[in-house]
Amino acid sequence: MADEGGELRTLQLPTDGYQTVDIVAVHGLNGHYMNSWTAKSKTGKTTMWLKDLLPEKLPGAHIMTFEYDATAAAGASPHGVRENAVKLIRALRDKREDNKDQRRPIVFVGHSLGGIVIKQALRASTNDKSHADVKEISECTKGIVFFGTPHRGSDDAKWATLITGIISTTIGRPPSEFLQTLQTNSEGLMKISEDFRPIAKNYAIASFYEEHVHRVLGHLIVEKTSAVMGLPHEETMMLGGTHSSMCKFARNDKRFDPVWRAIRRAAKGRDRM
């Protein structure tokens, strides 16, 4: 059951009527709030695991997905990570107000760029005085599960290939703010990582890194060295699939088992993971 309109969409309310945790999924570069999490079989059957599989494992979860413009093509939104991070935490604040429970635990799930947006959102919620009205978001967040998030960036050509499907990029078009941020060791990305590190200790963190190479490039989009932050309490694991397919699971997909378990552990907080 998805909301009509809005940027933070409800996929599933608790099946037992009692909400124990809010789970918020944030898609990546050139992604889609539904398609990025949806596996399609050869017969055309689709499985959106956040609403089709996860509620069976976590029946008390209120599961949401964040819709934002993360396209990198010409004519896309000029806004980048910071603006969308603020939009995310304000939308989540409003959703929790409507549910009349602003102290329920939160787990964020981010694919690729989505993980960067989550980190910036928690930083804004924690320390930015101009966003004091959303402080409870960071206070209630128990954990984060990352899928192929490029904490240290990824080669510019790799990202261009990923979003266009070709090796060369179109000449004459300035790179989007997202692409500039995601370049290896970009100033913006390093600033987000530096700002997040002091508060990372507050959250249980699981980082999945991709196993299989991009079919065109012949190598990984996000290397393990970028997908893993190297925190003492961080749980890391290789996950089968390419950068795009690593967060798409059909029913009976064995890869889903470590994922839902990581989300469940994250909901218990750092001390319980």
The CATH code of the domain that includes 258 is: 3.40.50.1820
Q: Is residue 57 a part of any domain in this protein?
A: yes
Rounded to an integer, what distance in angstroms lies between the CA atom of residue 120 and that of residue 35? 23
Q: Which of 74-78, 118-122, 126-130, 146-150 has the lowest mean pLDDT?
A: 74-78
Please, what is the average pLDDT of the chain?
Answer: 84
Residue 63 domain-assigned (yes or no): yes
Confidence label for 55 from pLDDT (cuts 50, 70 and 90): very high
- 2 part of a folded domain: no
Q: Is residue 117 part of a domain?
A: yes
| Cα–chain center distance at 126 | 19
Q: Considering its fold, how many domains does the chain have in total? A: 1
List, as one string, the DSSP characters of 63-75.
EEEE------STT
Helix (H) or strand (E) holding 260: helix 256-267
Answer yes or no: is 1 within a domain.
Answer: no
Query: Please, which pLDDT band fits residue 70 given cuts at 50, 70 and 90?
Result: confident
d(CA 39, CA 240): 14
Rounded average pLDDT over 166-189 = 58
> Tell me, what amino acid is at 153?
G
Q: Residue 62's closest CA among 7, 112, 1?
A: 1
Closest among 89, 78, 150 to 120, alpha carbons compared: 89
Q: Is 36 exposed, middle or buried (0-12, 13-18, 19+ CB in 10 A)?
A: buried
Confidence of residue 200 (pLDDT cuts 50, 70, 90): very high
Render pLDDT for 210-224 as a digit per residue (tens, 0 to 9). Answer: 999 988 778 898 999
- Tokens 């101009």, located at residue: 130
Does 134 or 132 have the greater pLDDT score?
134
At 171 the pLDDT is 42
Domain assignment of residue 77, yes or no: yes
Please state, in angstroms and rounded to a whole number, the distance separating the CA atoms of residues 22 and 263: 11
Domain of 80? 8-272
In contact, 164 and 31? CB cutoff 8 Å = no
User: Per the domain annotation, does 3 fall within a domain?
Assistant: no
**Residue 267 pLDDT level (bands cut at 50, 70, 90):** very high
Instruction: Tell me the whole-structure pTM to 2 decimals.
Output: 0.87
